[in-house]
Amino acid sequence: MFKHIMYYDWLLLWANRTLAVSVSLLTLFTAFALWNGAQHVSFQRQTLAVIQDSSQKTSSALQAAVHEIEAGKPYTGNAFQNPQSPYPIGANKGARFATLAPEPLALIAFGQSDLLPYYYRITMTKKQSLYHAEEIENAAILYNGNFDVAFVIVYLVPLLIIALSYNIVASEREQGTLAMLLSSNARFDSLVLTKYLFRFALVDAAFSVVLIVGLLLARVNLVEAAPQLGLLLLTTLLYAAFWFALSFAVNSFGRNSGFNAAILVGAWLLLVLIIPATLSVLATTLHPTPSRVELITTTREASDAAKKRSSQILSKFLEDHPELAPKDKQVDAKDFAVIALTAQMDVDKTLKPLQDRFESQLQAQQSLVRFYRVLSPAVFVQHTLNDIAGTGHERYATFNAQVVRFYADFQQFFVKKIFRQEQMTSADFEQVPAFRYQKPDAPLLGWSNILNLSLLLALTVVCAGVGLRRTARLQLVYAVA
C-alpha cells in the first residue's frame, strides 16, 4: 500500500510539474549561490596571496639594504627612510600582516566575512585602527544581503517545501480522492505521513546531490571538508524536516489549501524575517557599541593631550620600565621616535576603556541573540551554518583577540630598540614577530551547535506529534461526514 502511495504521489508531482519546477529552482539557486560564494572566497585567497608576497618582498628588500650598509656601503638617503632606524621600520616600512584564511567550506556562508576584516596591516602605532575597520550593525548576522548557500537554505528551501506540501491533506478532499483513501485498510494518518516522508526524502536527496556536485565543480576538497560537509548535510536535513513537520501540523487541522498556504507563508515571514530582524534591532538598541565617530574623536583628543605632556609621560614610562633605558647613555627626550612612540602608548592606554566597552557590548549583543535564538529556527540554523563555513562570530572574535596580542608583541619588539637607541641589523629582521593564526581546539560540533540541532529536532518532533494526533482525529471527522 505504502509503495503504491509513493508511486502515485510521484506520478502526481511529475504530472503537474511541481517536482520538476521545485528541483529546477533549487538547482538554479544553489548553483548560483555556490558560484557567488566561490568568487568571494577566491577573491579573499588572491588578496591574501598578494599580501603575503608583498610583505615577504618588502622584508627581504629591507634586510638586503641593511646587509649592504653593514658590508660598508654608506647610506646617503633620508634619515626617516633609513632601514637601520627602527622607528620607520616599525611604524610603516616593516609592517606585518595578520591574516585569517578561509575555511574549506567558506563559500557556503559569508557570515561576518563581508563585514569584518580578514586581514590587518600591523604597525607599532595606531592600535585603534583595528577598530576603525569595523562597526557592528547586526549582532549575529542573522541574515545578510549576500546570496550564498546559507541564504538558500534558510530562506528559499522553506518556501519550496511549503509549495510542495501545503495541500497534501486538503487536496485529497478537494480532488475527491479522500473517500477512496478512507475506504482502504491503511490508517489515514499513516498515509499522510508517508506522503510527507516521501516528499521530504525527495527534497533532501535533491539538495544533497546538487550541493555535493556543486562543491566538486567549485574544486572544494571534500575529504578535507568531510566534517563540515557532514554537519552541513545534517543541519539541512533537520531544517527541512522542521518545515515539513510544520506543514504537516497545519494540514492536520483539515482546512482548505488556501488557508494552509496563508498560515505557512505567515509562519515563514515570522520565523525567517520578523523575529531575526527584531532580535537584531533589540541587540543593537539595548547594547549599542561605540561609534567610529566617538573612537576617532577620543583618539584625536588623547593624541593632542599626549603631545602636550610628552616629557612627563616619558619620565613616568622610564620609571615603570627601567629595563628599556640604554645602558651607557640617557634617552634623548627630544628624539622624534621616542616622543611619537611614547605618545602612542599613552593613547593606547587612554583608549583601552573605550575598546573594552566595545568588546563587552558586542559580547552582550551576541549573548542576547544566543539566549533568544529558540524563538526562530532560522536564527540558530544561520549560526550553525556560519560556524560550518568558518565565518561566525566566535572565529572572528578569536582572530581579533590574537591580532591584539600580536600588536602588543610587535610594538614591544621595536620599543626596546627605540628606547635603547639600537639600530636594526640584518639578523633583526628574522626576529621581528610574525602573525600565525592559532585555530582553537574547540570541536566543530561543540555544545552551541549541539544545542542548535537539538532545538531543531525538538521543534520537529513537536510539530510532527501535533500533526499525527490531529490527523488521527481528522480521519474520524471525515469518516462521519
Kindly write down the DSSP assignment for every residue of 62-82, as one continuous string: HHHHHHHHHTTPPP-S-GGG-
- Candidates 195, 291, 207; CA nearest to 251 is 195
Q: What is the DSSP letter of 121?
A: E
Q: State the Cα–Cα distance between residues 401 and 100, nearest whole angstrom.
A: 12
The predicted structure's pLDDT at residue 306: 66
The predicted structure's pLDDT at residue 279: 87
Angular region, 141: left φ>0, alpha ψ -120 to 50, beta rest: left
- Position 126: which residue type? K
The predicted structure's pLDDT at residue 272: 93
The predicted structure's pLDDT at residue 8: 64
The predicted structure's pLDDT at residue 318: 62
Q: And the C-alpha cell for 396? A: 572572528
The predicted structure's pLDDT at residue 134: 41
Helical packing angle, 226-251 and 447-480, nearest 10°: 30
Chunked in runs of 10, what are the mean pLDDT values of the chain (481 residues)?
64 72 90 92 93 91 90 80 87 90 91 76 71 42 65 94 85 62 66 86 92 93 92 95 94 87 95 89 81 68 68 66 64 66 75 77 80 85 91 88 90 85 88 90 79 91 90 61 48
The predicted structure's pLDDT at residue 242: 96
The predicted structure's pLDDT at residue 138: 41
Helix ranges restricted to H, 309-392: 310-320, 336-372, 377-389
The predicted structure's pLDDT at residue 144: 44
Q: State the Cα–Cα distance between residues 201 and 237, nearest whole angstrom.
A: 9
Angle, alpha carbons 286-290-292 (nearest 5°)? 140
